[in-house]
Amino acid sequence: MSEEKVIEIYIDGCSLGNPGPSGWACIIKNEKEEKILKGGEPFATNNQMELKAAISALSYFKTPCKIKIYTDSEYVLKGITQWIFKWKKNGFKTKDGKPVKNRELWEELDKLNQFHRVIWNKVPAHSGDFYNEKVDKIAKETAKRWVKK
């Protein structure tokens, strides 16, 4: 009986100005290679970019996979593992009755999270974790490309 392979993914997003020029990045690791995905927008928030990183990482795989995602974003981690269940029950409203921010991104991430078997892991930001630091640097470099000179 062979053991199922687990894909490890590190994600990060940033916004220079929040909102402002922004970027996201993912490092997808398996036993053979590391694949870097990255992107950005001229005007977005850091939370939007954190969500885009997660969505892009999970969208990369077209068949269901077992995936471990590492993020330093409390927003993404708690959102997808805790808050999403209440949001879906109450029509994506906060406890104050206001619309949940970034609803479309959350709904997309939720679909992908259900398609794959995802284990979400918290990595402390700027704590010296090699891949977390690397993905942070790539996201920042990507955001800088949107800065007007």
Catalytic residue among 33, 50, 116, 129: 50
Catalytic residue among 23, 126, 128, 141: 126
State the Cα–Cα distance between residues 97 and 62, nearest whole angstrom: 36
Q: Is 96 a catalytic residue?
A: no
Q: Is 50 a catalytic residue?
A: yes
Catalytic residue among 13, 23, 40, 79: 13
Q: Is 110 a catalytic residue?
A: no
Residue 53 — left, alpha, or beta (φ > 0 → left; ψ -120 to 50 → alpha)? alpha
- Give bridge partners of residue 93 from the DSSP assignment: 99
State the Cα–Cα distance between residues 118 and 129, nearest whole angstrom: 21
Q: Is 13 a catalytic residue?
A: yes
Q: Residue 143's closest CA among 64, 38, 40, 1?
A: 40
Catalytic residue among 4, 12, 97, 129: 12
Catalytic residue among 23, 40, 41, 72: 72
DSSP character string of 5-46: PEEEEEEEEEESSSSEEEEEEEEEE-SS-EEEEEEEEEEE-H
Catalytic residue among 96, 128, 136, 141: 136
**So which residues are the catalytic ones?**
12-13, 50, 72, 126, 136
